[in-house]
Amino acid sequence: MSYSAAVDEGLALEDVVSPVVAQVRLAIGLLQGALLYWLYRSARENVWPATESYLFAPLVLVGLLVPVLLIASLGHLPAKKAGLWALAAGGILVALALHDTWRGGAGQGPWGSVGAARHFPSGLLIGFSMAAFYIAHALVAAGSYDGRRVARYPTYFEQGWKLAIQLKFSGFFVAVLWAVLGLGSALFMLVKLDFLRELLTKSWFAIPVSCFAYSCAMHLCDVRPGIVRGIRTLALVLLSWILPVAALLVGGFLLSLPFTGLEALWATRSATAVLLGTSALLVVLINAAFQNGEAGPGVARVIRASARVAALLLLPLVGIAVYALALRVGEYGWTSDRIIAAACLLVASCYALGYFWTAIQRDSWLGPVANVNVATTFLTLGVLLALFSPLFDPARLSVASQMARLEAGKVGADQFDFDYLRFEGARYGRQALERLKAGAQGPDGAAIREKAALALAKEQRGMPAQAAKLTAAAIAANLKVWPGTARLPESFLRQDWNGFKRPWYLPRCMKEAGQSCDAYLFDVNGDARPEILLIAEAPRNESAVFEEGGDGGWVGIGQLAPNVTQCAPLLEKLRAGRFQLVAPRVQDLEVDGQRVHILPDRAAEPFVCDAASKP
């Protein structure tokens, strides 16, 4: 079989891009893998550059996105233009990452909780940057292909869908590669060879291999545009036949509203999100039918009619979403989520108004949709850049809104969400809390200052504020010793409980001022030295038993069951001294010098509080 015949049969690759371009793309993939591994390792070991927030976050963002843009550009943009585009994209990403770090928006890293995760760009920035630069690259590639700043719509359509399929199938290729490697590892483990399993766990192997495989997959997708085009056509045809169903469902929903009213919709507290998602689905399905604007005559009549109906339905759907958001903002003010939703609604409104105007035109089937799509695409890019810049930073705007509501008396100190400022307001929220803590005035001034201080002291949302470290005297004041003549050992009080390795084991009386515990001294292990049982006051009734080790330090050795410490009659008898130590009903095993515990079956001898209260 000749080479040309093999190409026709799909068995060989077309020379769409030169071998040199292929080599450069693969080299970029390897370099990206090396860069990301270096950044990952520095984060795990908390060494430079991970220790420099304003350097590390831009490096991560640039390392994730710019190589992919460069790979997609090579062979389709002139070398000089591809380099300039990569530099411009890198500059924008650096600026976005610097602002994200400055505002305090960095958080969990994309590789999980590692040493310096606070220095990673925020997940929101990474996700929206991927979306923004996917759109931007499609626009740049289309303009370069047509040789004009604003390309023809069919070119935008071709470049956008080609890039989307290329990116998704490259990710799928990497996933399948790792599935095969995992299967190979399992096969070798059947014969007790673990070298491959160990290799797959090494970050120096996993990260470069994943990046190299992704670059290889992008190149393979690029050299067979016919296959990509076929996948796109099939996907769009299938999606277009879902459009009649979607139009029928949305139309039925809108027709039911006059009979059901909107109250049930508002009660869900998620109306805006659901309506936005439905609007996005309609836009995708309408464009699946419209395709590049030249497929109109070949589209089935039912799909043509459904697309026109869906274009009309989009406007009332978005209008209801806008109204739902306006109600929430009027009642509770702006938050970051609502500002992002408003930005999405701005884009959706552009689609809705444009599509409605298109649908009522009779001279063509949705012809102006092309112009609406192009205009809305540029609007979307502008909105994304504005949201992640100081201009329309959602955190800044939402903090200003919430502070205005508090200062105007629209919400009291008892209902104001101070935690929102602390954990979702970025640096703007923390600065606002500092101002409230220092100088809140008015009838609720004292309460506001106290709540602001508590919010600033918290380390995690929903968790109590980090308590001040207790002194030995403060701990002693929290403990009531039984019997009254007993005294706690000095070594117990002098111990640094703030550095206890298992802080969750300690009752609150060992961590917070004003929390009381009963303390009982008795020898539970027969070493002629007293152990200490602590039982916290109701309603938590936490318990812990401590013994003194050979080095003089106290360690936890056990707890009482919660149903025991919550039995008030039993606790009264314990305080009165009506107890004795007895040998366990089930002894331990000692196997060749190693002690093995037999866990008792509680169902065999259940504890009943009423029975314990009998004299």
Closest CA to 585 of 603, 599, 570, 567: 599
Residue tagged 């390392």 (tokens): 63
Q: Are 446 and 427 in contact (CB under 8 A)?
A: no
- The CA distance from 137 to 163, in Å, is 9
| DSSP assignments along 518-552, one per residue | EEEEE-SSSSSS-EEEEEEPTTT--EEEEEE-TTS
Query: If the chain, 615 residues long, is cut into consecutive pieces of 10 residues, what is the mean pLDDT of each piece?
Result: 44 59 96 97 91 94 98 94 97 96 61 47 94 97 94 95 95 98 97 95 97 96 86 94 98 96 86 96 97 84 96 98 96 96 98 96 88 97 95 95 94 92 92 92 87 85 65 88 89 85 86 88 88 89 90 89 88 90 85 82 70 46
What pLDDT was estimated at residue 468? 62
Q: 417: which DSSP letter?
A: -
pTM, entire model: 0.76
Q: Which residues, including other chains, have CB under 8 Å from residue 74's CB and lie 6 or more apart? A: 17, 21, 24, 25, 82
| DSSP assignments along 125-170, one per residue | HHHHHHHHHHHHHHHHHHHHHHTSSS--HHHHHHHHHHHHHHHHHH
Question: CB 196: neighbour CB atoms within 10 A?
Answer: 15
CB neighbour class for 592 (10 Å; exposed up to 12, middle 13-18, buried from 19):
exposed
What pLDDT was estimated at residue 602? 62
- The CA distance from 391 to 398, in Å, is 13
- The CA distance from 314 to 72, in Å, is 34
- Looking from the CA of 16 toward its CB, the CA atoms found within 13 Å total 16
Residue tagged 């002139």 (tokens): 78
What pLDDT was estimated at residue 162? 94
